[in-house]
Amino acid sequence: MPGLADAFELIGEAAEHVLPQTHSPGVALAVTDAEETLGVVVRGFADVAAQAPIRPETRFEIGSISKQFAAIVVLQEVEAGRLDLHVSVNDLVPWLRIAEPFGPITLHHLLTHTSGLPIGTEESPTGPGALAILRSLEPTFRPGERFSYSNDGYKAVGAILEHVTGAQMHELLHERILKPLGMRRSEGAITNATRLDIAVGYEPVFDDRPPHVNHPLAPATWIVTDTADGAIVSTPTDMCAYARVLLGRGATTVDGHEVRILSEDMFELLTSGLVATDEAEVRYGYGVDVWRRDDRRMIGHSGGMVGYTTLLRLDLEAGLACITHYNGGGEKIALTDHAIDTVRAAIAGAPLVPMPHPPAPTALQRADGLEGAYDGTRRIELRRTDEGLHLVDGAVGVALERWPAEDEEAEVYLVPHPALDRYFLRVFRDADGGVRELAHGPDRFAPAGRTLDPGPAHEPAWEAFVGTYRSNNAWDPTMRVFLRAGMLWLQWPVQGPEMPLDPLDDGSFAVGERWAPRRVAFDEVVDGRASIARYNGGRWYRSFED
């Protein structure tokens, strides 16, 4: 097609600019229409040590994009009359025994993340183990009342499908979707053998602090799994074959023959925006995000595994889809949308517009009025320089960097210096936008001349809970707990800013909002220090790194 070669050259240039600002050595991207794959872009390395490049046939883990595959199998069973979306899951599989204090939890609730169940800790390496932990926990809100993402909810979906069909989840995926669509290099389980033919996944060396662009990478921990929430391995071109069935509303052509994996009615149910999410413009169907972009209907989903990040986005009105894989972590929305827009322009014969280069990490969007001196446990200064906003703390000086996952409610910055980088720098503002105080982990600072509000006195017993806790859980290996302004705070160093702990009557704490299914408790206090932090049924153990 005229213009497509230029379009993919432009997309490749964009990938080259984006990749250095990720925590990944390689990226693969492909765009398809409803008929065929239009082009593939690959940059970087599948294996850094071997200097093996990413190729179009390179395999990646696709993480939570797997959820919509499981949802498709559910809808096939619903249409066949073997499953009901609106009865208690405990009636479908009695051994699940999921607590239902607020009313029945149904497949509809699991598929839309509205069950009230926790996201899951991944402490158990197996699905049955994860569901055993889930049985010991209770939802924190009435089913259907709110959206709260739950991987364990989709693990339960997989268990229901296996019980009803008598087949293992990866077998169902192969027979119902992967094989019919000709996805020959895809599989529905991650085994040790998978490791022989896949891009090496990478993660930052440090798991006890927020990741900075300058942190070196290391091969990620390998995980063996076959659960329905995220166990598919695929390639850019195989994922284009899958995207074509979505562009075709449940049907596509494979080797000259029409293949339909969902009826139009079931496709409509899959991709309807059934529930509101925590993003104002995004609704959720069954394993599918639904939104509008430039007044066009979009669907898609992201996927993250330890060492892998993937994004699938489809512009249904343009009839285009893009899949982007990283063998590490990195921002992928801008690059994926740029690819769709560039190919759409090429097809229309419109001018091709280069993607703006990503701003430097030190380009801060929300740092108004931060310059000046601050007093607290010590004096620090924020100075505007050619490098950006410079934090000076005694003999240490460093330019602040933006936190990639910018939160509209929490203004936080990275402090990329070994003496300071274990915590975010967090800004608290008055109603008029002026700076009230800064927080850096347990330390607080007020603008010079202003007095810090001391806050309430904390419970003396809480001092035993302060510290760093570790687990062999590859997803969240480190938890840090500290006291600030009379409150306990919990931080997952790699995942994002800290959240306050709200004491509950039973001695445990709600993490963040009380309605959210996040609970932590501390026990085994030895010499005034808790040995174990129990978070949603998973266990983290005190480390010497306090």
What is the SS3 assignment for 4? helix
Superfamily of domain 4-66+184-348: DD-peptidase/beta-lactamase superfamily (3.40.710.10)
Report the alpha-carbon distance of residue 41 to residue 181 in Å, rounded: 22
Q: How far apart are CA 19 and CA 213, in angstroms?
A: 11
Model pLDDT for residues 103-150, shown as the tens digit of each residue: 999 999 999 999 999 999 999 999 999 999 999 999 999 999 999 999
Query: Quick check: 69 and 282 in contact, CB under 8 A?
Result: no
CA pseudo-torsion sign 222, 224, 229, 230: positive
Secondary structure (DSSP) of 241-301: HHHHHHHTTTEEEETTEEEESS-HHHHHHHHS--EE-SSTT-EE-SS-EEEEETTEEEEEE
Quote the Cα angle for 99-130-151, to 5°. Answer: 85
Picking from 388, 327, 287, 260, the residue whose alpha carbon sits closest to that of residue 28 is: 327
**Domain residue ranges in the chain:** 4-66+184-348, 70-165, 372-447, 460-542
Look at the pTM and tell me if it is higher than 0.85: yes
Which amino acid would we find at residue 457?
A
CATH class of 460-542: mainly beta
Q: For residues 36 and 182, what is the distance between their CA atoms, to the nearest angstrom?
A: 13
Average pLDDT over residues 492-502: 91
User: And the tokens for 296?
Assistant: 């066009």
407 pLDDT band, cuts 50/70/90, is low
Six-digit token string for 527: 């010499």
The beta strand positions in 10-99, using DSSP E, are: 26-32, 37-47, 52-53, 60-61
Place 33 in a pLDDT band, splitting at 50, 70 and 90: very high
- Please, which residues have CB within 8 angstroms of residue 442's CB and are 6 or more apart in sequence? 482, 483, 484, 489
Instruction: Give Cβ neighbours of residue 451 (< 8 Å, ≥ 6 apart).
Output: none
Average pLDDT rounded to a whole number, residues 419-442: 94
Given a contact cutoff of 8 angstroms between Cβ atoms, the answer to whether 89 and 74 are in contact is: no
The distance between the two most distant Cα atoms of the chain, rounded to a whole number of Å, is 76
CA distances from 123 to 117, 127, 228, 541 (A): 16, 10, 16, 13
Chain segment 212-252, per-residue pLDDT in tens? 988 999 999 999 999 999 999 999 999 999 999 999 999 99
In which region does residue 228 sit, left (phi positive, over 0), alpha (psi from -120 to 50) or beta (all else)? alpha
1 pLDDT higher than 80: no
Q: Tell me the per-residue pLDDT of 67-90, one tens digit each, with 9 for 90 and over.
A: 999 999 999 999 999 999 999 999
Instruction: Using a pLDDT cut of 70, give the percent of the chain over it.
Output: 99
Residue 321's nearest CA partner among 231, 241, 232, 229 is 241
* Cβ within 8 Å of residue 350, ≥6 positions away: none
